[in-house]
Amino acid sequence: MAAAAASAGVGAGVAAMLQVPERVVEVAVPVRRDSGEIEVFTGWRVHHNVARGPAKGGIRFHPALTASEVSALAADMSLKTAVVDIPFGGGKGGVRCDPGAMSLGELERLTRRYTVAIASLLGPDQDVPAPDVNTDERVMAWLLDTVDVLHGRSMPAVVTGKPLAVGGMRLHAGATASGVVRCVRAAFGALHRDLVGARAVLQGFGKVGGPLAFLLQSAGMRVVAVADVGGAVWNPGGLDTAGLADHVTAGGSMGSFPGGSALDPTELWEVEAELTVPAALEGAIDAAVAERLASALVVEAANGPVTPAADEILARRGTIVVPDILANAGGVTASYFEWAQSRQGYPWDEALVATRLGRTIDDAFSTVWARSQSLGATLRHAANVVAVERIAAAIEARGLFP
């Protein structure tokens, strides 16, 4: 962020403000297990910067979660909301726990107790959480219900990614994947390359990677290799992504899919293709992977999938990387629409959501691409510069109190 602030010509005082989160709240989350014993977990909610609007960011449950990780993710959310120019600041939260080792009842009690602990931060004009790693619309419904009970009134705009039954939005679930595809289309267009018939490699086949594989194929691309935690599969002629989804849903492993050949997941990056999309967890493409990556275009569907060292190597090799704060911003954009819908009390139709989502991502890509060309810099640096300029403008317009 410091390099972006320098390129943006931001004053030293504002740059210093962007280096640290505005608040980091750590809470104890005691939960009664099904056995009757009480176990105490640790949770956090971080606001990085709220000059542009309420804090916006997901809640994740993960056994390796740390305060520093949550703070870094909150900073990314400040940049992400700014680069797509929606009126939110950056936030993030979560609990260090292993949800896979918890019953449904324990998970609900954990969610509600965590919500109570951070409730003073939450509100449609303060902080609006959403799903993230190991959380979903069911967890968001528990959070919403807990806030409503605490305040004694309905507050549907306090959370996004909700079930439809309590005010959710129909296209929210696939918005991240849709935004990634818009960026893929825009990148191919900016590079004057043909999208139809081009080959794509995809790491991750979950909430984002699953629908993304189908959308890429629907756009005319050949998805030639896919990997997830269960293995990898390869077919140079293109995989049947719908068949692959059915196979995995039925309990089959990626490597046992009959429509392709099993592939060592470590060899995924060397598969010849025009596009690589990392859609799993952070740090998937490190320096070693970057040196042997076969694709000339990377679009980051996951958060932070390319390490800083790998980023430098890819830039040296001339590989174009569409950064996560732009490429996967479809999810937070749809969250903004859901927040507006909840505040209006009137549901948006799917066509309106799709149109506005597409326009928002396309405009953001065009702005970042143009800034990259004018600066002679990578798309990541350009996206950071655009975001920092917008955040700094809000800080400077507000002034410093007192």
The catalytic residue positions are 92
Number of Cβ atoms within 10 Å of the Cβ of 281: 16
Of 295, 358, 324, 349, nearest to 79 by C-alpha is: 324
Q: Within the chain, what is the greatest distance between any pair of CA atoms?
A: 66
Q: Which residues contact 66 (CB under 8 A, 6 or more apart)?
A: 96
Residue identified by tokens 């269960």 is 230
CA distance 327 to 241: 21
Cβ contact 278:257 at 8 Å: no
Strand 23-32's sheet: what is its strand order? 23-32, 38-49, 89-96, 55-62, 127-131
Element at 278 (helix H, strand E): strand 275-278
Q: Is the sign of the CA dihedral 111, 115, 118, 121 positive or negative?
A: positive
Distances (CA, A) of 195 to 181, 215, 314, 328: 11, 13, 22, 19
Chain-centroid distance of CA 78 in Å reads 12
Cβ contact 182:362 at 8 Å: yes
Structure tokens at 86: 């929606």
Give the DSSP letter of residue 34: T
Q: Which residues contact 383 (CB under 8 A, 6 or more apart)?
A: 79, 83, 323, 325, 326, 368, 371
Strand 261-263's sheet: what is its strand order? 261-263, 231-234, 222-228, 199-203, 275-278, 297-299, 320-322
Cβ contact 44:121 at 8 Å: no
Structure tokens at 53: 């609007």
Distances (CA, A) of 390 to 11, 255, 299, 301: 13, 45, 23, 23
